[in-house]
Amino acid sequence: MDSTLRRTWAEIDMDALAHNYETLRKRIGENVKFLGVVKADAYGHGSVQVSRLLQESGADYLAVSSIDEAVELRHNGITMPVLILGHTPKEEVSELIKNNITQAVTCRAKALEYSEEAVKCGGTLKIHIKVDTGMSRLGYLCDGDYFESGVEGICEGCTLPGLDAEGIFTHFAVSDEFGEEYESYTKHQFELFTSVIDEVEKKLGKKFKIRHCANTGAVARYPETWLDMVRPGLLLYGYGDFAQELGLKPVMSLKTTVSTIKTYPAGTAISYGGIYKTDRKTRMGVVPYGYADGYFRCLSNRYELMTEEGPAPQRGKICMDMCMIDLTDKMNVDVGSEVEIFGKANPIEHMAQLAGTIPYELTCAVSKRVPRMYIKDGKVYEKELLLRG
């Protein structure tokens, strides 16, 4: 569905995405595979468009969180390998096999039911075994007293009928954090992971084709963890301190326009609750960007949107569909003027810091009613609105 409204929109810079991929590819070298994480609609950037570029650029794998996300890619011409990181009901195994989708296996129960279903439908399901080395979420427990039983469980999963254990992986919990404690924890996770792999391969008498554990923090800081494949997330989209250090570019810019301007006398209460009152004669602009678009209400009266004349403080409580910005000192900003919410001139990292969160949450929060404009060579070549047509 196309949008004809110039209300609030996200610009997705595909040239920046291509630059980030090429930069990261050069960093890891030719002998390490590249997995692009495109779950949650590529963190709000558009999974089909991002996957298409990665496929054309020569990436090796994609990762999603569910079978619905994986099948969406298949239905839109994405033929490269896709790994589902999350849960898939056993009833969907035939669909996984039909669409050549790889499934993460995180415990004995999953391995058994996936094997049973694969045998029933007469096919083979490609799997990647997940090891819990300290994230304490999904995966075979292998630390401490669980090492032997974890190894045995993984070996069992790798030899069940109907399953093809192509890969094995784990997830680092603090690889993006600084400090001796965090570095020690990450190194422990990596050492445990490699010990598990060594023991499993020894018992099975064969090696995994793909061993992977390096997320964004590890790609930036721990080259020894790259192994056969890396899984950069935040880095691919050009956000965070590591991205800046590596010369990567932010892919998404969120923009809006000024829809109304009114002038109020000193002492005028602005928006719900009257938490802000003008302290002078104030030229106040209304922009069609509110919490239903993804603007966290906790940022009320705390954030600044970027105009052509510089930052304009947001005033009063953020509403569902709009908010107010102070334009008193920006007389050239008028109705229809473009305003950047975050992007190249107004870094998303600042917004994330004020909101007490990470850039991921902000890009994922950009709602489906905000159209995405895909830009290449400075021109919009595709528009997408996720609302039902």
For 158, residues 6+ apart whose C-beta sits below 8 A from its C-beta are 129, 165, 200, 204
The C-alpha angle 179, 85, 94, rounded to 5 degrees, equals: 170
For residue 96, give Cα distances in angstroms to 151, 167, 193, 249: 26, 16, 27, 35
Q: Any idea which residues carry the catalytic annotation? A: 39, 272
Helix, strand, or coil (residue 168): strand
For residue 388, give Cα distances in angstroms to 2, 11, 104, 202: 10, 20, 31, 53
- Angstrom distance (rounded) from CA 182 to CA 190: 12
Contact 13, 249 (CB under 8 A): yes
Which letter, b or e, does each residue of 262-280 get, where b requires 16 or more Cβ atoms within 10 Å of its Cβ? eebeeebebbeeeebebee
Is 320 known as a binding-site position? yes
DSSP state, 135?
S
Structure tokens at 387: 């609302």
Q: Which of 226, 168, 183 is nearest to 28 (CA)?
A: 226
Is 306 known as a binding-site position? no
Kindly report the number of other CB atoms within 10 A of residue 51's CB atom: 23
Runs of H (alpha helix) within the chain: 14-28, 39-43, 47-57, 67-75, 93-98, 108-120, 147-159, 180-204, 216-221, 241-245, 348-355, 359-365
Instruction: Phi first, then psi: give them for residue 28, nearest 5 degrees.
Output: -85, -20
Facing residues of 121 across strands? none
**Residue at token pair 């997330």:** 233
- Angstrom distance (rounded) from CA 376 to CA 374: 7
Which residues make up each annotated binding site for substrate?
137, 320
